[in-house]
Structures are given as C-alpha cells and as structure tokens.
Amino acid sequence: MRKFWILSLAVITYLLFSYTNIFKVLKAGLRRGEADNTYDGFYFSNTEVDLGYRKRHGGQEWREIVGSWNHHYQVKSQIEGDVVNTYPDEVTFLVEESEACRDPPLVLAMVVTAVTNWHRRHFIRHTWGHPALVQVTGVKPLFVMGQVNDKKHQDSVMRESQQHHDVVQANFIDSYRNLTYKTMALLTWAAQHCPLAPVILKIDDDVILNPVALREFLLVYLQEHPQPTRIMGKVRCCDPVLRKGKWGVPEDIYPKKGYPTYVAGPSYIVPTPIIPTLLQAIKRTKYASHGFFRFFFLEDVYTTGLAAKTSGVHHYNIFSLTNSFASKMDYYWCSGARVFQENVDMKQAIQGWNALRILENLTYIPPYVLGTS
C-alpha cells in the first residue's frame, strides 16, 4: 500500500508540473529557439499544436530536408574522466547490414526486438515499415537484437537477414536485463553507418507507429530546429526508485531515492548530431555511491537520464503524441492525432493499423491479415 501511495504521488506531481509548464508556454506565446523555451529541463513547443496533419503523401519534402542536412554538424563532447563502461568501444556485429543507409532516410527507426519476436517484425514490415510506405514517409525500420545460444533460433535469424536485409545483431546475450547493451549497440551502429539521417528513432517492437504523423511532426520540427540537440519523447520527472519487482534496483547499485529526468523507453527520438557525445557520456557515467558498475539495466534511465545528464543533453517533451494505455487502441492514434501507440496486443495492433490505413489513405499498402506471407 505504501508503494501505491508513493507512485500515485509521483504521478500526480509529474502531471501537475508538466501541465503547469505547458500553460506557461502557451500563455506566453513563446515561439523562440530551443535555448529559450526551457523550464527545469523540459522543453515545450507550439509545434505539437501547429502540426495540422496536412495529409501530404509525397516524399519530396522529407527528401529535401535529408538532401540539405548538414552532416558535418555534430555536438562536440566536452566530457572528461575515466572510462568506466568500455562496451561502446567493444561493439561488434554478427549481422551488420552496413549498406542499410545507402539511401539515407528521414528517420532511421531502430526497432528493439527479441530474436523470437518474428511475428512482430513481420507485422512491422507489412504495415508502418512497408517498403512502399518508406518511400513516402522516410521512416525506415531496422531491427536490432542480441545473440542467442540456440542454433535453431540463430539459423532463423540468418535466414531472415538474408531475405530482408534489415536485421542488425550485436555481440551481447539477448535478454531483458541486457536492454542497455542493445541501446548502446544501436547508437553505435547509427553513428558508424547512418550519419546522414537527421534523427534515429529507438522504438520497441510492440509500439505501433503512425509514420505519416511522425513525418509531419518532424517536417515542422526540423524546419524550426535545423540543428536539433534534444532527445524527444515522453519525458518523465521525479520517478521514485523501486527496490523490488521487475524494475527493482538494490540500494548498493543506485543509492538515490529518485531518478533524474529521462525519456520513457518504449519510443524516443535522438538527433544524430548528439549520438557521439551521448556515447562518450555512456562510457563515463558513474552512478553508484562507491565504485561504479558497467551498465544500468534500466536503459531509458541510463541512456536518456544519467548519461544525458552527464553530457548536458536536454529533452523535448512530446508526451501528447504518445498513448500508453493498454486497455484499448487509442481513438486519437487511430484518427492520426498521435504518433505512438504503446501496450497493444497483436489483435488490437492489426485492427488499429487497418483503421489508420484507411484514414491516411494508404490504400497502396494492403490491409494486414494475420498469417500474411
């Protein structure tokens, strides 16, 4: 019961804080640059209100942005200190697909997936990641996974890779506790092989994406911020540290009572110019009261919270573009007013996608039917 009241208080505090800041921004009518629209680490913009969802279904605009992208621009790392986490320098790829970004996309969607989640990957390839739709939206999926000891599963991954050429497999054991390694691997791959894409999207394979809405959001955002430096997503503030359960962290691992501001892990956007400095911060982020640990298994807290704080990277809150309720497919997502839909099962995902397909007039993409080859 005590845990329930602590979590309830944290949620209420976060909501009051968030909506208070939104009111400040809207009341003031701020339409300035990134540095001015900051309140205690949060950034709110009228971009979310101004999207309008213009329903332009051509790929010309996103290609113009990519074509004019200044790939020489990079946020220089000012981080000093000893390296405490060497994995970013040790990443190797069993399956690399180094040519996957030969034609740079607007968004490289790096889908965090488990080796056995082939049905989720199948769904994505035939829905929001369909090759015909990628040409229109500029949102290209690439699936990221770790190693497995089961030869049958590994052989299946190799066949899948040879067929689709959209799988990246790195040198860590694929497990929930190793999600931080998976994020480090995908950031490393993006830095090495896809520097010409303006942003990468880290997205779990059970999050359903509206790629048209994402494109529209980014067309506006990147015009307003041609040199983006903030991690975009559902910003979380003041979360208490749980000591038990799935997300429990022992006090000797993380002695503080609360986490720094971070972005929730199911989906967030990272501008490519900040990836190198973020990786440098990951290598030098300490978080224990005595000594240090190689990595922190809560990847969103570690990457977008602790490491981002070390590197001086801030956040851009787009929580209104995400629906997190698992009870039903959100109406606003189905109507095109939101970008990300979390926590839905396959039946809900199929129903929601097929509704969105009609709404966005994506009739050149066949409706998804379970069992589609």
Q: Where are the beta strands (DSSP E) in 1-65?
A: 38-39, 42-43
pLDDT at 253: 80
pLDDT at 248: 79
pLDDT at 58: 53
Q: Each residue of 101-128: pLDDT tens digit? A: 999 999 999 999 999 999 999 999 999 9
Q: Options 3.90.550, 3.90.870, 2.160.20, 3.30.70; which CATH number does 59-319 get?
A: 3.90.550
Q: At 178, which amino acid appears?
A: N
Orientation angle between helical segments 179-193 and 275-284, nearest 10 degrees: 140
Whole-prediction pTM value? 0.82
Contact 24, 39 (CB under 8 A): yes
All structural domains of the chain with their residue ranges? 59-319
Contact 193, 316 (CB under 8 A): no
Would you give the DSSP letter of residue 274?
G
- Name, in order, each residue with C-beta under 8 angstroms of 214's C-beta and a sequence gap of 6 or more: 107, 137, 139, 201, 339
Q: What is the largest CA-CA distance in the chain?
A: 60
Q: Each residue of 55-78: pLDDT tens digit? A: 444 578 999 999 988 877 888 777
Q: What are the residues facing 144 on neighbouring strands?
A: 112, 168
The pairing of beta strand 340-341 with beta strand 208-209: antiparallel
CA 244 to CA 223: how far, in whole Å? 45
CA 98 to CA 362: how far, in whole Å? 30
pLDDT at 278: 93
E strand or H helix at 107: strand 107-112
With H, G, I as helix, E, B as strand and everything else as coil, classify residue 276: helix
**What is 172-217 written as a DSSP string?**
EE-SGGGHHHHHHHHHHHHHHH-TTSSEEEEEETTSEE-HHHHHHH
Low-confidence ranges of the chain (pLDDT < 70): 1-58, 286-295, 325-332, 334-335, 372-373
Report how far Cα 101 is from the mean position of its chain's Cα atoms: 18
pLDDT at 198: 96
